[in-house]
Chains A and B, each alone.
Chain A
Amino acid sequence: MTFDAVTVAMLKTAIWETFYMVALSSLFAYVIGLPLGIVLVVTDTDGIYPIPWLQKILGLVINLLRSVPFLILLFIVLPLSKIVIGTRIGSPAIVIPLTIAAAPYIARVVESSFREIDAGVIEAAKSMGASTWQIIWKVLLPESRPSLLLGAALAVTTILSYSAMAGFTGGGGLGAVAINYGYYRYEPGLMWIAVILLVVMVQIIQEIGTQLSKKGDKRIR
């Protein structure tokens, strides 16, 4: 392994690619997953606006999507990237399968955060005449904020590890470096560097999530 300017530049590009793949996918996945998580909780039989059939169907679809291994989902979804973005290789193309894989996962993470909220608090809001929307905006979301932030750290690190797999299908980022150099070219040195950079990124994301969650949590004296 030679540590020249070219290698450094390549690693820098890879870090940036990983960063924006993960950031964009996380953003899009939350845009889809957060409302789905809300629907899962709100429309449940004992929820604040029960629509049991919708809840069941949504739960089923989410489970189906979650049971497809990511690598296989990649192959299934990449033709869609070709249509939407115009290419099936490179980092932008990976954002679509990443979003599709992460959204149902996020829906479940968000669901479990909401379920932690004491039913009594929701009942109190109802007793004041709060509407379903008011309960979602003023009780569910703010009261579960610390748990949602921890869930976000979990979701983003999972998306990061998924993004590394995209190296197999011609996606960019640190995963591609590890696969192309370490696996195909037998340059374990560069592979280890990519892996260490991924580990560092996971640590940073987790730490940010934990700290934000703790700082904002008013349940701690």
Chain B
Amino acid sequence: MALEEPIIRLRNVGKEFKTANGPVVALEDINLDIERGEIFGIIGLSGAGKSTLVRCINMLETPTSGQVIFEGENLAAQSDRQKRMARRSMGMIFQQFNLLAQRNILKNVCFPLEIAGVSRQEGKKRAMELLELVGLADRAGAYPAQLSGGQKQRVAIARALATNPKVILCDEATSALDPNTTKAILALLKEINQTIGVTVIVITHEMAVIEAICDRVAIIDQSHIAELGTVSEIFSEPKSRIGRQLILGDAVNQVKFSDSRQLRIIFDGRESTEPVISNLVLACKVPINIMYAATKDINGTAMGQMIIQIPEDETDANRIINYLKSIQVPFEEVTKNDI
């Protein structure tokens, strides 16, 4: 697969929006190669430019500079008609599903086929196959309002697959769904990727989505690609600030540690067999910052100490101190100068 030419190549893609307050740069100098058959993730915080980026791929937004090369053709230079034709090879699913409310789900799946000029009968047949694939064949006559969010997204996936596209673009496709439904929809996307071989591009702000299905990921921040690599690379060693932020989560960042109190916990052999710190965090529901830790084997007993920093917040700090007292772990408060 690596020998084949990438299905989509973005070359120096830039997008500027003209607003009343002057131009706003949404994307700048984006370079990406998306390989045939992979699941490629694009992650970023809201406003980073990821939605604009995905819309530049299927030309819903026209880039102000650069090239979008799909199967060797630069879409940015094509006529509107050619762009519409290219879009039939790229299905898209959305956060809000965007189904036609006045059509039943069979007719929703038929919709892209009608647009492509496929006969009514053939379209129906194909649509039924696809509803079968997404597990909704028995609901063919139902209307979108009668379906759950997960079911609506399944219909949207069937609809996106109707014209046998080579690429599926997913714009925050699971962001409006609960965790279990998200899992099921991601599993379906993965299954489709493996069985049909369609390339999937996933836009999300949730690292869990990338983790679950993506092969490679690009982290986009402030209109630029901050980091690009396989998911395992980025996970084990995020290099960019935004990468660390997305992977480590923002739980830690929400708590201020700057000049807060520090405790020295002493392990006397008993506690080293117990997950004291884990239990502390779980019981208090407060993050702590481990400043220093060392354990020594002294005459067969594990002896050690750990210096932890506790949050500035008085209530959180007291909760930790009370917890340590309650489990009778020896500890003392230390100041910066002690270390």
Contact = CB atoms under 8 A, between A and B. Distances in A.
Partners in one complex: yes
Interface of A: 118, 120-121, 123-131, 134, 138-139, 142-143, 145-146, 216-221
B94 A138 contact: no
A118 B83 CA distance: 23
Given A129-B88, A142-B103, A219-B145, A118 B111 contact: no
Given A124-B98, A142-B102, A218-B102, A129 B146 contact: no
A120 B115 CA distance: 17
Contacts of A125: 111, 115
B139 interface: no
B101 A120 contact: no
Interface in B157-198: 163, 169
B114 interface: yes
A121 B100 contact: yes
Nearest to B92: A127
A124 B92 contact: yes
Interface string B243-274: 00000000000000000000000000000000
Contacts of B85: 129
Contacts of A142: 100, 102-103
Tell me if B's interface is mostly helix, strand, loop or mixed.
mixed
Contacts of B86: 129
Given A124-B94, A143-B101, A219-B145, A138 B60 contact: no
Contact of B100 (A123, A143, A216, A221): A143
Nearest to A132: B80
Contact of B88 (A128, A139, A145, A216): A128
B96 A131 contact: no
12 contacts: A123-B98, A124-B94, A125-B115, A126-B87, A127-B60, A127-B90, A128-B116, A128-B163, A139-B100, A143-B100, A218-B145, A221-B145
A129 B92 CA distance: 11
Contact of B101 (A126, A130, A219): A219
Tell me if A's interface is mostly helix, strand, loop or mixed.
helix
B58 interface: yes
Contacts of B111: 125, 128, 138
Interface in B75-91: 83-88, 90-91
B104 interface: yes
A128 B100 contact: no
Contacts of A216: 102
A130 B94 contact: no
Contacts of B116: 128-129
B84 A218 contact: no
Contacts of A134: 115
B323 interface: no
A124 B101 CA distance: 13
B115 A121 contact: no
B104 A218 contact: yes
Contacts of B235: none
Contact of B115 (A118, A138, A143, A219): A138
B112 interface: yes
Of the candidates B91, B102, B115, the one having the most CB atoms from chain A within 10 angstroms of its own CB is B102
B87 A127 contact: yes
A128 B156 CA distance: 12
A61 B2 CA distance: 60
Nearest to A217: B102
A220 B105 CA distance: 15
B87 A128 contact: yes
A126 B112 CA distance: 10
Interface string B193-209: 00000000000000000
Contact of B84 (A120, A121, A131, A145): A131
B143 interface: yes
A213 to B, nearest CB: 12
Given A128-B87, A134-B115, A118 B96 contact: yes
A128 B103 CA distance: 16
Contacts of B163: 128
A129 B144 CA distance: 22
Given A121-B98, A123-B98, A127-B90, A218 B143 contact: yes
A97 B93 CA distance: 49
A26 to B, nearest CB: 23
Given A130-B115, A145-B102, A217-B102, 8 more contacts: A125-B111, A128-B116, A129-B112, A131-B115, A134-B115, A139-B100, A218-B143, A218-B145
A128 B115 contact: yes
A121 B102 CA distance: 11
A203 to B, nearest CB: 27
A130 B102 contact: no
A120 B58 contact: no
Nearest to B156: A124
B98 A120 contact: yes
A118 B95 CA distance: 13
A51 to B, nearest CB: 14
B103 to A, nearest CB: 7
Contacts of B91: 127-128
B322 to A, nearest CB: 51
